[in-house]
Amino acid sequence: MAVRAKFRCTFETHKKWGPEETQATRSYEFMAVYDPETPEDQRYAKATPSGSLTIQVDNPAVTFEPGKTYYLDFTSAEAS
């Protein structure tokens, strides 16, 4: 079964480490979206009325914009 959630990126944090702090990564925080005036948000709120997600990204090609809304799709991962 697949589940889709709607989350808004709320924060972007840059972190540096390593010798002379030459290595960097970004962390993003997301919160579930709910606007009672938006029919789509009303449907999503039934499955994800509240929630948060924090991810760390090392890939420079992957970015998220604070304030922008994203869909998160969850599907079962088969055991390997």
Say how many domains are in the chain.
1
Instruction: Flag whether 41 is in a domain.
Output: yes
Instruction: Flag whether 11 is in a domain.
Output: yes
Residue ranges in the chain assigned as alpha helix (H): 39-47
Band of the pLDDT at 47, cuts 50, 70, 90? low
Please answer whether residues 57 and 1 qualify as being in contact, where contact means their C-beta atoms are separated by less than 8 angstroms: no
Instruction: Flag whether 47 is in a domain.
Output: yes
Name the residue range of residue 43's domain. Answer: 3-74
Which range is least confidently modeled, 2-11, 34-43, 54-63?
34-43
Instruction: Flag whether 31 is in a domain.
Output: yes
Instruction: Flag whether 29 is in a domain.
Output: yes
Instruction: Flag whether 79 is in a domain.
Output: no
Instruction: Flag whether 80 is in a domain.
Output: no
Who wins on pLDDT, 45 or 12?
12
